[in-house]
Every structure is written in structure tokens, then in C-alpha cells.
Structure 1
């Protein structure tokens, strides 16, 4: 409850302990939302004390459902799905294992499906349309070598969100029951997951920061995505955004040989 006796708006970020999800979680907390984070590792550093954390393994469906049931037991204003599994390194298809493929599907796609199925009723129960933000990737538009599982799972996730957005528009034309927005970075982002794949001493000065997503997150918190339902937005390093239909994101694919890559 707030100081005036009003219930705080609640938000959920799946995959919000680090990376883009953390940038969104911090921005929503700064905007006054009560933010719960579901992730394997606990949020740390500045602002972590403003986030409620529930340890969650997205490869364990029963565990995920238990955490999501807890998160969606009351109305939700905003939900972000930012969990991602890139893979241990870039590798051509014949060098990828079934175990890695299954993990990419579990985290990048099935976790999203579970989150949508559990949280959509809670977003609909809010006193105004809730907003669901899916963190997408340029690989959806730029499939390339060494990223087959990542590209396939992220493209499927984007298609899932596009379909849900169209269903929401069909159910309540002009006044969506809830709003679905997708956003992706214009370039590489300095995240813990990326740092695990880079050599010691790598120069990250040209990389985006998770905080680049804060302006969009604040906009969604303030408007619940009004005017952005169904949008697929590219976010740049300065925090500005534009529809992907105006300009496709730059491909981060590169030539890769068997047994190499990062």
C-alpha cells in the first residue's frame, strides 16, 4: 500500500536480475511500481533492494509455474519477459547439441509461453489495460551462421507475441484488453551473459547498456503501452526507439567455422 492507502501497481520481470531485464526492472521500480523479479540469480548492486526476487529455474516447468502463480495472484500492471539463453558460444548447426537446443527452447520460447499463460489473466484484472513487454532480438530479422537455435527460438517467440497482440486487438477493437509490445536493442548490449562469452580485456565501450531501455520502460509504466500495442521497437544506445518497420536492425551475424566462435 502507498502512503495514501492506495495499492501500488505491481510489475513482474522474468529474467530481471541482470541485462536488459534489470534495466526494465530498475526503471519500473523508480517509477513507483512494486517489482518482482524471477531469475536464477538474485539481483545485486545499486537498486537491488527495491526488487522482490523469487529464485526460478526456467528449465523446470513445475518450478516456473509455482513462481508465476505467486507473481500473478493479484492484478499486474506490467510484465516483461527478458530471460534468454544464447548458448555457450556461436557454433554451426552440426556442432550444437540437443541439450543446448532444448535449453534455448525452454528459456527463449517455452518460458515465454508459460509467462503469458499465467500472467495474462492478472494483466486483465488491473483497473486499466496491462502491458506485456517482450524483449526481442535483431536475430529475428537477421538469421545467420552459428546462431541457428537462438535465431529459431527468438523468431518463434516474436511470432507468438505478434499472434497474441492480434488476438487482443480482435477481442477489444480500439480498447485492447491488454497491450503487447516488443523491443530489441539496436546493437550489442553489455550484459553478464555476453561477458561470459568474451575474452578477458575485451573493449565494451561501443556496446549499449541495459539502462538504455529505461526510457521505454518508464513510458510503458506511465501509459500502459497506449499507442504502442503490437509495436516492434528498436531501442538505441541513447534510449530512443523507432518501429522496426522503419529500419531493420543491423545484423550481428558473422562468418563462423566449425569448432570456433563466441
Structure 2
């Protein structure tokens, strides 16, 4: 069960944080893994580290997911390296802070371009190969923020994460005849480089608001992504699954038992 050794996987935003955690789980499971990132910084190191984890092939590729042509070139590079593509983890995204009252057009366009347009462009670029796979999988990294919760300064971010779910539901219907599933993972607070920048006080306060008592890890997201990529998950499509340690459950902090 849960054999991924014959699968080829592309993870956008794969050089750090949740993306690297996802890529690492797939690499350890024996899949061929491509990690795509905007910046060369950390990409070579990530590829080298992932290459040590399993028997599959690992490649790195530069991409700007907000640019359709860049996504087309990314897909071509990966398909050439692996001879096809079975799984797309559309994970690339940004989460800058911008209060609604002062948000600029440039800030709005940037996050929409990467988080929303980037999802469309990555899927479109990989679609022919996923159809050819005969059992293609598309896994989106959304968030609890937007679809379920809100947080000051992230109205634009929340809007992009909710938009991904709207995309997912119709894409799942359109692609079902091709045996492609489309699902979304909604991470809660995950301990990554970006989270560390918020400081220890923020991290500690967030941990207190989570019934599990701790922030998640990038690998927690990777484990669900890996399952959704398996043959056993073929009947799951159009679904959004929160991985948050129960963060969205309590009415207030008083409901949490420590």
C-alpha cells in the first residue's frame, strides 16, 4: 500500500518551508521529485539534501509562477527529466502583511499573481502530462486563513487562499474524466522559516491556541500530500483538509485543556 516509487512529483515553492517538507516526504517515499523555486538561493542545497533521502531522482528548476511562460518552461524541464509527470503540488505562495486601509494596488496584484494566478498557470502547464499519467494528482497548498479563519493584515492573503478552493472544486469536476484528482491542504500554524521570523512570543502564543499544544511541521503537510498522491486516494477529489492540530475547533482559549 501507499507505493510512490513509480511516481514523479513537482513541488512549486519547494526550496524551503512547507514546500521543502512536502518534497522531503515524497523523496523518502522513493518518488522522483522536482523542486521549483523563484530564487536560486537554497535551491541547489535543497536538491542535494533531498537526493540523500531516497532512491528517486531529484532535480531543481527556477520558476516565477506568476508568469505563464515561466510555468510552461518549468513543466517542460521536469517532464523531460522524468519522462512524464504524475503529481503536481502547487505550493508556491507568499504571505506579506498589508493592512486593508493602506494596501496598495501593487501589493494586491503581487499576491494575487503568485498565489492565485500561479496556481492556474502551474496546473495549466502540467495538465497534458497529468492527463497522460492516467492517474494524475493535483494538490494545492491553501490555508486555514481565508477559507476558515481570518487574521488582521492578511485580508489579501486570505482572499487568495479562499480563491484556490473555488478553483479546486470546478477543476476537480473538469478533470475527473481524465482520472485526475484535485484536492487542497489547509495548513494551520506550521513551524517554518517564515514562522520563525514572527518571533518566539508569537510562536508561543499560537501554540497555546492549538489543542495539540504545538505548531505543526512541514512534514505534517507532506504526509497528507503523499497520501493524496497514492492510488488508494483515487476516490478523493475536490476536498479541502485542514492540518492544524485542531486550531480551528475551540470557541475561545478557555476551551483548550492544557
Runs of 4+ deviating beyond 4 Å: 200-205
Structure 2 vs 1, CA of residues 234 and 200 (structure 1 numbering), >3 Å: closer, same or farther? closer
Q: Write the mapping of 1:80-119 to structure 2, written as runs, cut at 5 A.
A: 80-87=89-96, 89=97, 91-119=98-126
Query: Could you say what secondary structure the match of 2:233 adopts?
Result: coil
**Structure 1 unmatched ranges of 5 or more:** 1-6, 238-246, 252-262
Find the aligned partners of 1:142 and 1:157 in 2 and give their Cα distance: 15
Find the aligned partners of 2:201 and 2:157 in 1 and give their Cα distance: 26
CA contact under 8 A between 1:58 and 1:64: conserved in structure 2? yes
CA contact under 8 A between 2:67 and 2:118: conserved in structure 1? no
CA contact under 8 A between 2:9 and 2:85: conserved in structure 1? yes
Find the aligned partners of 2:202 and 2:158 in 1 and give their Cα distance: 25
CA contact under 8 A between 2:65 and 2:121: conserved in structure 1? no
Find the aligned partners of 2:84 and 2:168 in 1 and give their Cα distance: 21
Q: Write the mapping of 1:47-66 to structure 2, written as runs, cut at 5 A.
A: 47-49=49-51, 51-66=58-73
TM superposition shift of 1:113: 0.5
Find the aligned partners of 2:152 and 2:172 in 1 and give their Cα distance: 30
Q: Write the mapping of 1:167-178 to structure 2, written as runs, cut at 5 A.
A: 167-169=174-176, 172=177, 177-178=179-180
User: Does residue 181 in structure 1 map to residue 183 in structure 2?
Assistant: yes
2:143 equivalent in structure 1? 137
Query: Could you say what secondary structure the match of 1:155 adopts?
Result: helix
Greater shift after overlay, 11-20 or 199-208?
A: 199-208
CA contact under 8 A between 1:80 and 1:132: conserved in structure 2? yes
2:30 equivalent in structure 1? 32
User: Does residue 222 in structure 1 map to residue 191 in structure 2?
Assistant: no
The RMSD of aligned alpha carbons is: 2.7
Find the aligned partners of 2:79 and 2:65 in 1 and give their Cα distance: 16
Find the aligned partners of 2:101 and 2:8 in 1 and give their Cα distance: 44
CA contact under 8 A between 1:59 and 1:106: conserved in structure 2? yes
TM superposition shift of 1:10: 1.3
Find the aligned partners of 2:196 and 2:71 in 1 and give their Cα distance: 26
CA contact under 8 A between 1:138 and 1:250: conserved in structure 2? no
Aligned length: 226
TM superposition shift of 1:201: 7.2
Find the aligned partners of 2:182 and 2:196 in 1 and give their Cα distance: 30
TM superposition shift of 1:57: 2.6
Find the aligned partners of 1:60 and 1:179 in 2 and give their Cα distance: 24
Query: Could you say what secondary structure the match of 1:13 adopts?
Result: strand
Structure 2 vs 1, CA of residues 56 and 250 (structure 1 numbering), >3 Å: closer, same or farther? farther
Greater helix content: 2
